[in-house]
Amino acid sequence: MQQAVRLSTTWPDNGLRLVHETPVRLRFKLPLLADPLIDFSWLETWLETIRGVEAVRVNRHARSVIFNYDGETRTRTSIVELLGELRRDRIPSGEPEPTRPAEIVPVLTTAALLVGLPFMSPPVRRLLTFLNISKTLFTGLDTLINRGIKIEVLDAIAIGLSASRGEYATANITDFLMQLGGYLEKKTERQSDHMLRRLLKPEPVLAWVERDDVLVQIPDDQIRAGEKVEVGPGEKIPVDGLVLDGAALVNQAAITGESVPVRKEIMDRVIAGSLVEDGRLRIEARHVGDETTTARIARFIDDSLDQPSDTQRMAERLADQRVYLTLGTGGLIYLLTGDERRLESIFLVDYSCALKLGTPLAFKSGMFRAASEGILLKGGEAIEHLAEVDTIVFDKTGTLTRSDLEVTDVIVLDEQRWPRDRLLAVTASIEEHASHPLAEAIVRKAKEEKLNHIDHGEVEYLVAHGMSCPVNGDRLLIGSRHYLEEHEGLSFAPFETEIKALEKTGKTLLYVSTQHEAVGLIALRDTLRDDAKQVLASLRELGVRHLVMLTGDHRRRARALADELGIDEVFAEQVPEDKAGVIEQLRAEGRRVAFVGDGVNDGPALVAADVGIAMSRGAELARATADVVLLEDRLALLVDAVDIAQRTMHLVATNYKAAIGINTGVMIGAALGWLSPVTTAVLHNGTTVGLLVKALRGLGDPTHETLPHDRERQHAATGS
């Protein structure tokens, strides 16, 4: 049995005190934890990054922090040193939590009043009842004056009627049920927001960084772009970057949902937050801090929480209209019967909570599920539009084909001034500053051939066109033929034979020139994704009727590939500027169009489509512009995205029907005198909370909801 040891060791700088210790557990008192504005979830997560620490629990009320660790001396030393140096200004601020306990106080107060009510005299009972329901009454009056007739007005009338008739128990029970329902609604909604924000929140990491030729360990938020980071087994990658050296198996499950570790080698891209399971990597930081993938995902999610979709706005509008239905029904029944109890019961029927809160919670549930699978859905509108898509347009390169291009040919057009190795070396040296798959393939080829880096001037990046850079007194231009000929006035016509021969084999060409003459061609080849045909078939099963491919390939080759994959329509020999026009043309035909792309020049098409979908390895502009981002280079995630969107909208529809149906039934029961005000309040609030929980948890299991197209496939499979 482990012997507990009690110590009283104090570090005077921040008041840290070790108060209890066992061989695998440490408990400290830390005065700065009294600050309610500390982001305690961040602090716990950050402390858990200490190697050897198994779990951390922070108790701000007791001002203590407890560590479970591996019992190693070096781990204990690391814990003590880190906590001893901790200062308040190093901890981010979070949302204060003092209001949360306050939310339950009115519920508990009303419950206590109900218990004591039978033992009070009538005057005391009346006084305490009106004091207890005063907030509801004032809220109703304020709503009527400032916002018009809303559900708060009907609630106030119903409870006020009960109290005025001396039915104090009924008034207090009804108020208690309303307060309890409101508390549970707020808690459920807050839980959904917290669930989403925590899902891909960038975890703080301690990282080893090269500075002045020495490895130093620093927090990840202090890493600068361009610095070299070393990551070993069991360590988290703190930046988005490129592997410069080493090889490792990397677990990206926290970011992409892919459970199988992937191998990362030289010139592969790595994502912040993924874990090195075996091996060691030396990484050049490309995106750090708030610009990493996980930080941007968290920001997208955070922004989307407060952006209502068309469906949400419609639900709110219908909910407000139902208030007048309730008011009118109550007035009519009272005129016919003169029964105030029926009037009270009817006024307690509230459609609005289930409609107004259930819809956004369903969207948040869908976003959570998608993010867990490695898909970023940017808000409710992205979900509802994706669910309605009947046409998907693929920009072939990087979507139906793999982004891992390879350089197949380096064609020199001016051998005297630009020999092959120099042409490839200088192009790679310039392309190092871009992050597109073409650039990475060229840089990888130069490294494979061990070509030296060529000094050059500042690179000018021309969006959707190419790159320009001074080299040894000249200016080198790299980009598409369209850019070099139409915008720069150069001609590749004398080399038409070579160009056509390369294009005939389906290769992608990058054109290189100076300001005065063409100097070279670099040909790259991509390969068809193994699962492309199955993905397209699965999309058809989900209701996508029209599949389209955009490509710069010649028509004959493009048509052959389309026939192989079962694609309906092909737009071949397309220049980047024409992509958005194709999308507009399809939309003009009445189609609901999604566009899948990965390049900088896909930005206009992503915006023009009803839903823009960016591949994980696409350009930054494409991912920023898109409504949906696939976080892993797997086309099958597109099927998951469409499926989740459809399930979410099905959940919204079923919850809407349930809210209308159940509340209408309750209203009929109240109008016929079958339901008392208390029973009405119980049924209404129970229904609302039940639907909110269903919305929050409805997509937790992919088999939880069965859609109509699922049933059709099941019947076909079983013959029933």
Q: Residue 46 carries which side chain, given as an amino acid letter?
A: W
Q: Residue 316 carries which side chain, given as an amino acid letter?
A: E
For 209-250, give the DSSP string: EEETTEEEEEEGGG--TT-EEEE-TTPBP-SEEEEEEEEEEE
Q: How far apart are the C-alpha atoms of 405 and 285, rounded to whole Å?
A: 22
Reduced to 3 states (helix: H, G, I; strand: E, B; else coil), residue 58 is: strand
Reduced to 3 states (helix: H, G, I; strand: E, B; else coil), residue 441 is: helix
The CA–CA distances, whole Å, from 651 to 662, 694, 699, 706 equal 16, 9, 8, 10
For strands 611-614 and 593-597, give the pairing: parallel
Reduced to 3 states (helix: H, G, I; strand: E, B; else coil), residue 522 is: strand
For 693-710, give the DSSP string: HHHHHTTSSTTSS--HHH
Residues 6+ positions from 498 with CB-CB distance below 8 Å? 411, 521
Q: Residue 289 carries which side chain, given as an amino acid letter?
A: G
Site of tokens 């694609």: 567
Reduced to 3 states (helix: H, G, I; strand: E, B; else coil), residue 612 is: strand
Residues 6+ positions from 100 with CB-CB distance below 8 Å? none
Q: How far apart are the C-alpha atoms of 111 and 568, rounded to whole Å?
A: 65
Q: How far apart are the C-alpha atoms of 378 and 365, rounded to whole Å?
A: 13
Q: How far apart are the C-alpha atoms of 17 and 581, rounded to whole Å?
A: 67
DSSP state of 486: I
Alpha helices in 553-676 (DSSP H): 555-565, 579-588, 603-608, 620-625, 636-671
Determine contact, residues 305/364, Cβ cutoff 8 Å: yes
Q: How far apart are the C-alpha atoms of 550 and 576, rounded to whole Å?
A: 10
What is the maximum alpha-carbon separation in the chain? 109
Determine contact, residues 304/277, Cβ cutoff 8 Å: no
Site of tokens 């339901």: 675
Which structure tokens are listed for 153? Answer: 């007005």
Any catalytic annotation for residue 278? Answer: no
Selecting among 155, 175, 240, 395, the annotated active-site residue is 395
**Considering only CA atoms, which of 233, 201, 204, 205 is closest in space to residue 217?**
205
Catalytic residues: 395
